[in-house]
Amino acid sequence: MRTLRRYITLLAALTLLRSTVPAAAADSGDPKDVKQVRRVVVAKVGYVSSASVSHDWALCTAYIKAEDTDVSVVLRRTASVWKIVQQDGGAYTEESLKALGVPQVDIPQLLKANQ
C-alpha cells in the first residue's frame, strides 16, 4: 500500500511539473537558429510561445501583451540575419507559406511546432 501511495504521489508530481513546463519544449529546428529567431521576435513583437526553424525560414507563435493577442510570425534568414517577413493574427497554412515563397521542402518542418 505504501508503494502505491508513493507511486501516485510521484505520478501527481510529474503531471504537475509537465503542465508547468514552458512552451519552448515545442520548438523544432537547430537550437542555435531557434535561439536567434526567438531573440528577433521578442525584440520586435513579444513573448514567443513556440518556434520552428527549417533552413532559412522560421515560423513562430508570439504573444503581444499590450494587445492581449497571439500572432504568427514568419521570418527569413538573409546572410546571417533573421528578418520578419510577415506577421498575422491568424495561423499560417501550407498555402499561405507557399505564397510567401517558402520552399515546399521547408513547410512541414515549419508547421511541425505550430500545430
| DSSP states of the chain | -HHHHHHHHHHHHHHHHHHHS-GGGG-BS-HHHHHHHHHHHHHHT-EEEEEEEETTEEEEEEEETTTTEEEEEEEEEETTEEEEEEEESS---HHHHHHTT--TTTHHHHHHTT-
Which residues in the chain come in under a pLDDT of 50? 16-17, 19-25
For position 20, what pLDDT does the model report? 43
For position 22, what pLDDT does the model report? 46
User: How many domains are contained in the chain?
Assistant: 1
CATH of the domain at 107: 3.10.450
Q: Is 82 within the bounds of a domain?
A: yes
Q: Is 16 within the bounds of a domain?
A: no
User: Which domain does 76 fall in, by range?
Assistant: 22-112
Q: Is 55 within the bounds of a domain?
A: yes
Q: Is 76 within the bounds of a domain?
A: yes
For position 39, what pLDDT does the model report? 93
For position 62, what pLDDT does the model report? 87
For position 81, what pLDDT does the model report? 92
